[in-house]
Structure 1
Amino acid sequence: MVSTYLSYNMVTRDLQTSLKRVANDSQVAANRKYYEENIGKVKTVDDFMGDYRLYSYAMKAYGLEDMTYAKAFMQKVLESDLSDQNSFANKLTDSRYRDFAQAFNFKESGATAQTSVQTDTMLGLYTQTMADQGDAVTTDSKYFSSMMDQIGNVNDLLNDDRLRQYLFKSYGIDDNYYSRDLITGVLSSDTSDPNSYINKTLGPQKDAVNAQLQDAQTRYNAATNATDQANINAEIQLYSGQLASLQKYYDMADAFQFNADGSVPAGGAQTAAQKVTINDLYLSKQDRLSTATALNETAYFKQQMSKVTGIGAIFADDRLYSYIKTAFNQGPGVTSDMIASILKSDLSDPNSYANVNGKADPNILAMAKAFNFRTDGTVDAGQAVTDAQLDTISNGYYSFYNDNQDAADDKAAQLYKTALADVKSVDTFLSTANVRDFALKAIGVDPTTVSNFELRKILTSDLSDKNSYVNTLGDDRYVTLVKAFNFNSSGDVSTPLTAQSTGVITAIGSDYTIQKTRFLTGTDLDKAKSDASTEVGYYSEQMQKIQNVTDFVNDDRLVNVLLTSYGIDPKSVTKDFLKQVFTSDLNSSSSFANQQTNSVWAEMRGSLNFDASGNLSKADSVGIQTKGKLLETENKYNRQSLEEIQGEANNGVRLALYFERMSKTITSAYDILADGALAEFFRVTFQLPDSIGSLNVDKQAELVQKYMPMEDMKDPDKVKKLINKFTALYDMQNSSASSSALSILNGSAGSSGISSDTLAALNAR
């Protein structure tokens, strides 16, 4: 009989060849073929468990053959949400159950309109877009003012998109629907000349509407019936609106100095005052306050305050009054009478309004100090404020002018996050204003300019299809919108397209932590756990942001977590190697990943959602399994079959192979004791009697640690020496082919046995 030592080494000398030989075994090949042909047909857990051949194949692959009978238990495992740490599979200490659940997609883990990362990105995008819009207003204002000194005629103005849009925004003209001839004529008109284009073209319309308005007002005054008055009032509003629409063209003409032929006169297209008029109009039409608004209002305040001779002028000018209230953070409850009392306060009088009320609100006292009005409210022209006081006032304005806007933004963001929880489809997205409008504003789209019909087509587009609706628009803003949400082609929420699924990320983090904390105790264990937690947290967050394989392999922290979780030394591979692995086509036997002697690379590749170009792509699926998980299941089945086949000839070889495989997962001496096959390996290796099993379990653990230090499990050379010692001693102890190991392994089916929490869960049913 060939010795155990020789048999083991014959198998492991070229393990991949041995595994291929097993894979070609007629029965193994037939089972694999059946699995591949039928797993894609499975839709539900009941379908899966109802096909015993499929179900038992997978159970054996993951070392759970002895649990095949426990269908109710395994159903709970398969239906576990692996993104939830408290789910059934995650709470079981035996990681085989989590690995088994992770191999299938019965529970679409993490289906949501947005992940937390996507939400944070959307909030950040909103903030940035609002800031960019403010910057754009400032830039556009400067551009208009500068370019108006350089243009040579009306056509130069209308041919420049930025100038034209600035002008049209100021006067409320739709850039998509306007008459070029009309605007050219208006801009070249002198409104005081009865023969100018505007007066000859729009003058008659204006006169006619004025006449209709006057007639309506006369009829309204004469009407005694409330219904008649209401009808006539509607006419008045209509004529007033028409008159305002015509008047804006007159106002526009008055804002320029173009000659009748459209050329620019010697004095320029605009005077300084006309530029101010346009700028004021443009800023007043903005939905949001910006730095440009603050600068403009400050310039206006300084100019007007030089003319003020009494506080009445402040209250007569809404812009001045508003500026002062804002500069000193006075809310809507503060009346003009209160402001007047502050400005007229005698600060040398402790009983003055400002001194008394300034104790509760320092801004009141600051306001009184910032102006020089007498107690009767008057001041000499040019003396209302000094330059130093102007600086104080303007600094206050810059500090507070957009506080209400910031508060509104914060509220909008909070409402967005709250409402987002109820978004389960494109329909609810479109019908939830707090979500729809916020998202559109975040990408720089006016919510009123796009229909829900259009948005539905956009949000249900497939970004990976170059012919999908959103990709044909040629507008990156809408591509950003689609990326920010997880709607499928039917409009339902789906699992986010990330470099790895939530369940896989969770499993990787768990495996990484196990690898980094193996065999540590005390403060070393505490520190390792803390460090691992930091890295796992980083991995979990960043893997939801990764967009391509280059970004992934260039992040050493991410690579370290992934490779360590699979038991690979990150220093043993290059970035180029990883790129080739992670872009391999698992459907091709000649692909780089499939050509590696260690099948773990193909399995690792299968956990990542990158296409051949290295970009994010939907996982290649075979029904309820990804291609990567199908491959992993088959590899595991082949390994289990190899051990089983070897055990038929020599149970010592099976034990040695089993120990070699499990040594990578052992974390303590108790793992050895809890597994009958591993315990047998230990006893044979160190020639210990079966009676040690009657000792206190802690005493047994001390013996394991004494004879077989757990730290040695990290060292492949020491593991090999242990196996060599076992195979030699096994033959000495077993002169025949029979061994108690056979019953042990048959009971565990090459697995770790039924753990205590598994039994407890079964008993609790």
Structure 2
Amino acid sequence: MVSTFIDYNLITRDMKLSLQRTSEQVLVKREADYYKANIGNVTSVDAFMDDYRLFNYAMKAHGLEDMAYAKAFMRKVLESDLSDEDSYANMLTDERYRKFAEAFSFSTSTSVVQSDAQEDAVIGLYSQSYVNQDAAVRSDSAYFNAAIDRVTNADEIWQNDRLKNYVFQAFGLDSKYTSYEQFKGVITSDVSDPASFVNVQAAAYKQGFLDKIANVQATATPEDLANPSSAAYKLIVSYQSKIDNAPDYTPLAAAFNFQLDGTLASGDLPMADAQKAATNEAYVFQQPRLSTSAALLDKLYYETTIDTITTVDSLLSNRRMLNYIVVAYGLPSTTLIATLNNVMTSDPDDPASYVNTSTDKNKSIFQEIARAYNFQSDGTLASGDTPQTATQMAATSGGYIDRYNDSYEAADTALISSYKTLMSLVVDVDDMLDDKKIMTLVLQAFGLENEGDSIRKLKKVLTSDLNDPKSYANSLKDSRYVELAKAFNFNADGTLGTPLMAQSESDILNTASGYVVQKSRFGTEEDKTAATAESKYYSAEVGKLASLDDLLDNRRLVDFILVAAGIDPEEIETDYVRQMFESDLDDPDSFVNTEPDTRYRELVASFNFNVAGQIEKPTSGQIQSRRGLIDTMDLYLNQTLEETEGEDNAGVRLALYFQRMASSVNNAYDLLADSALLQVIQTTFNIPSEMSSADVDLQYDYINRVLDVEDLHDPEALNKLLVRFTALYDIENNIDVSAGELILSGSGGGGISADTLLSLSQLRSGGL
């Protein structure tokens, strides 16, 4: 019989080759192929446990084949919430059950419309969209001001969409209802000429409705004309409203210097500097909300206008100045002009004045305003006075800049709060698309608020499979729609799916718990607390990753996943990790698959990155991640190899098992809890089997005296221990080994020399 040591050494000298040979066995290959081909079709615990071959393959892989009959028990294990310390699998003392549950996703794959990270990202995009608005306005204005100077004919504006859209938005025009002829007619008009296009058109528009009013008046009875409920009365009111609110094209006509034929007179530019400035300002104030640029324009207007004011009435009759003051001091928009008149003409030092006797809730603000302006009680200024000193004006402007967007921020806060609440109630894609508040925020977040997209189009985008380059969202060739689809988790039929994340929920949990174990197994309680805090950071940040680059750009995350895998991050460069992730897991000759350390393969498999570094969405309903699949199939090979070798020599099986399980041993109790691990320790350190009857704490103390458990995590120390075990196992079981066999096996450098092993053998047999 070949010695335990020689057999063990021959197998572990090239473990990958040994496992490959095992995988090529007919029965092993057949079961592995069946498992890989069918596990992806399983969507429930029942379906999994009802398939004898799948269930028994997985149970054997995890060393639980003896429990395959206990399906009710295993169901409770599989359905355990591993994030809950009090869940069934976590409460079991045998770690194999928790590891088995970790390999599947029956309890942790949650179908949600958005993950927390996705929701935060959309809300962030919404908030950022208004920050970006100001930058976009400045960019648009810079382009307009530069491009307009190169225009030589009115037609060139119409032909340049960016210029045309800028003009249309600045002057509040709708391109759907403005023809080329009308546009050209207006910008080539002389506003001072009553016969010009813009004036004739305005007169014709007004006259048209005046004629309609006259027609109604001519045909209706006097009673109807006097009755607000009559159709005639309502028609007249409607027509008068059209006249009062008629579109005014005069500012547009006045903004350009084109001649009647659309050309420019010699030496003229399309717009003078003052015209461009007025157009820029109009464009700024046409935006959906007041931007920083608009606020600064308001500030400039106020500060250049205030010194021209001579009375309270002239100040408060200017709507722009009035609004500035109301906002600057945080007053309600409903504040009456008469109230402000009384405030500004009050003497704040007179106890009997209006501001000091007011019972209004804004009394303190009124007193502040009274001190900010220098008007006399009659609303005029004393000789030599100005409405405000430089200090007073600076305080007013400071208040305006601080508060100009308060109402928008309050509206945003309310909308975001509603969004979070309403999104938690969404059950399918139609439910979301039907909610106006949700869609207001969503479309603004992705810059689609002005696209006018139909519900049908948005539904097709949201239910697109982004893994398919021919899917609807990808076919639009517009990144906004792709990002929109990424932000939600709808299946093709509109039902809720699982989030597109760099790691599945089960793998995030597995990585986080692995980190805590690695950092705290031989540390203090403080180490465990720090590791737990770091795992929370990881769990939050990994959900935000959009690509492999995002992961590798954050070395803190890289170090975390390496530690969780049991790899020392100080010895690993980021580029090396990149090479691993950019390998094809399905190619046996790829970089990651030829790396002797299989921990890298498991690490790469725990993420959903493809070889291009992009996240691929797992198959809907998938109950096992790539990591779980690879882990299960690798474990099955290891179990089979150990069983096969154990048929000839139980010592080899024990050594192989110990080598595989050593990394999971945290203390001596773990050794005592596993009879196979304990047998290796007892043999290695000549511990009598009778000691197993002693108090467990005594056994614990004894093992710690003869073994430093930390050595089990040192490959070199572990190898020495197993060489010692295999040698003593042969002696204990009377397996004869010749020195020649040992030397020929090439094992003399394994930690115990051939001479030493021969001496041990002779000692055991009484030869010395």
Q: Normalising by structure 2, report the TM-score.
A: 0.86
Contact kept, 8 Å, 2:665 with 2:712, in 1: the verdict is yes
Q: CA deviation at 1:295?
A: 2.7
The answer as to 2:337 corresponding to 1:336 is yes
Change (3 A) 1:222 1:527: same
What is residue 762 of structure 2 aligned with on the other side? none
**CA positional deviation for 1:219:** 6.7
- Are 2:257 and 2:264, in contact at CA under 8 Å, matched by a contact in 1? yes
Give the C-alpha shift of residue 372 in structure 1.
1.0
Between 86-95 and 106-115, the greater mean CA deviation after superposition:
86-95
2:373 is paired with a residue whose SS is: coil
- Matching of residues 256-267 of structure 1 within 5 Å: 256-264=256-264
* Counterpart-to-counterpart distance in 2, 1:578 and 1:710: 29
Say if 2:383 is the partner of 1:384.
no
Q: Offset of 1:707 from its aligned partner? A: 1.1
Amino acid paired to 2:381: V
Q: Which residue of 2 aligns with 1:646?
A: 645
Letter in 1 for 2:690: S
Q: 1:658 corresponds to which residue?
A: 657
Counterpart-to-counterpart distance in 2, 1:278 and 1:222: 48
| 411, 414, 417: which one aligns with 1:414 | 417
Q: Contact 1:4 / 1:650 at 8 angstroms: preserved in 2?
A: yes
Give the structure 1 partner of residue 63 of structure 2: 63
Instruction: Choose 500-509 or 275-284, whichever is displaced more.
Output: 275-284
How far apart, in 2, do the equivalents of 1:339 and 1:201 lie? 41
Q: Output the CA distance in 2 between the equivalents of 1:272 and 1:621.
A: 60
State percent identity of aligned pairs. Answer: 39
Give the superposition deviation at 1:671: 0.8
Q: CA shift at 1:430, angstroms?
A: 0.5
**Which of the residues 358, 362, 365 maps onto 1:363?**
365
Query: In the TM superposition, what whole-angstrom CA distance separates every residue of 1:580-620 from its partner, at most 9, and x where no partner exists?
Result: 33233333333333334444443333222222322222348
Runs of 5+ consecutive residues of structure 1 not aligned to the other structure: 738-765
Superposed displacement of residue 504, structure 1? 0.4
2:561 maps to a residue whose letter is L
Shift of 1:665: 0.6
C-alpha separation in 2, matches of 1:622 and 1:167 = 52
* Residue identity opposite 1:287 in structure 2: P
Aligned to 2:458: 455
Structure-2 residue corresponding to 1:708: 707
User: CA shift at 1:254, angstroms?
Assistant: 4.5
Whether 2:582 is the aligned partner of 1:590: answer no
Partner Cα distance (2:517, 2:719) in 1: 22
State the distance in 2 between where 1:54 and 1:471 align.
36
Question: Any conservation in 2 of the 1:586–1:627 contact (CA below 8 Å)?
Answer: no
| 1:757 matched residue in structure 2 | none
Partner of 1:297: 298
Q: Give per-residue Cα distances to partners, 1:617-662, cap 9 Å, x unaligned.
A: 2348996444553333222112112222222222222222222222
**2:319 is the counterpart of 1:318:** yes
**In the alignment, which residue of structure 2 is the partner of 1:426?**
429
Seen in structure 2, the aligned counterparts of structure 1 residues 25 and 277 have a Cα distance that, compared at 3 Å, is closer
1:3 matched residue in structure 2: 3
Aligned residue for 1:131? 131
- Aligned partner of 1:290: which letter? S
Superposition map of 1:515-554 within 5 A: 515-520=518-523, 525-554=524-553
Distance 1:660 1:247 in 2: 85
Relative distance call for 1:97 and 1:87 in structure 2 (3 A) is same
Amino acid in the other structure paired with 1:609: N
Conserved? CA contact 1:81–1:503, under 8 Å: no
Between 117-126 and 149-158, report the one with greater CA deviation. 149-158
- The CA deviation string for residues 401-459 of structure 1, in whole angstroms up to 9 with x for no partner, is 11111111122112112222122321121022222110111122226722211110111
Residues 22 and 641, structure 1, Cα contact 8 Å, conserved in 2: yes
2:471 equivalent in structure 1: 468
Give 1:682 shift.
Answer: 2.2
- Assess if the C-alpha contact under 8 Å between 2:343 and 2:366 holds in 1: yes
2:689 match: 690
What is the DSSP-based 3-state SS (H/G/I as helix, E as strand, rest coil) of the residue aligned with 1:76? helix
Partner SS, residue 418 of structure 2? helix
- Aligned partners of 1:115 and 1:723: how far apart in 2? 47
Q: In the alignment, which residue of structure 1 is the partner of 2:495?
A: 492
Out of 216-225 and 41-50, give the one that drifted further: 216-225
- The change in CA–CA distance for 1:600 and 1:269 in structure 2 (over 3 A counts) is closer
1:465-516 CA-partner distances (Å, limit 9, x unpaired): 3322222323222222122222222222222222211110110111122122
Is this contact kept in 2: 1:437–1:447, CA < 8 A? Answer: no
- Rounded Cα–Cα distance in structure 2 between residues aligned with 1:706 and 1:128: 61
Is the contact made by 1:513 and 1:532 (CA closer than 8 Å) also made in structure 2?
A: yes
Query: Which residue does the alignment assign to 2:235?
Result: 235
5+ long unaligned stretches in structure 2: 737-768
> What CA distance in whole angstroms lies between the structure 1 residues aligned with 2:527 and 2:310?
74
Secondary structure at the residue paired with 1:662? helix
Partner of 2:558 in structure 1?
A: 559
Q: Would the aligned equivalents of 1:599 and 1:635 in 2 still touch at CA under 8 Å?
A: no
Does the 8 A contact of 2:3 with 2:735 survive in 1? no
Q: Is the 8 A contact 1:683 1:690 kept in 2?
A: yes
1:733-759, CA deviations, whole angstroms, 9 ceiling, x for partnerless residues?
33489xxxxxxxxxxxxxxxxxxxxxx
Structure 1 residue aligned with 2:740: none
Match of 2:440 among 437, 442, 448: 437
Give the match for residue 164 of structure 1.
164
RMSD of aligned C-alpha atoms?
3.3
Q: CA deviation at 1:281?
A: 4.8
Structure 1 contact 586–628 (Cα < 8 Å) conserved: no
Q: Is the 1:117–1:545 Cα contact (8 Å) retained in structure 2?
A: yes
Name the stretch that deviates more: 640-649 or 246-255: 246-255
Q: How many pairs are equivalent?
A: 733
Q: State the alpha-carbon separation in 2 of the partners of residues 139 and 622 from structure 1.
A: 46
CA distance in 2, matches of 1:220, 1:329: 51
- Which 10-residue stretch deviates more, 194-203 or 372-381? 194-203
Cα offsets for 1:61-118 (capped at 9, x unmatched): 0122232222112112223455666654455454433332333344461322222222
Change (3 A) 1:386 1:455: same
Judge conservation of contact 1:111–1:493 (CA < 8 Å) in 2. Answer: yes
**2:615 counterpart of 1:616:** yes
Kindly indicate whether the alpha-carbon contact (under 8 Å) linking 1:82 and 1:502 is maintained by their aligned counterparts in 2: no
Secondary structure, in 3 states, of the residue corresponding to 2:249? helix
Letter in 2 for 1:309: T
Partner Cα separation in structure 2 for residue 8 and residue 660 of structure 1: 10
C-alpha spacing 1:142/1:352, structure 2 compared with 1 (3 Å): farther
Q: Paired residue for 2:187? A: 187
* SS in structure 2 at match of 1:449: coil
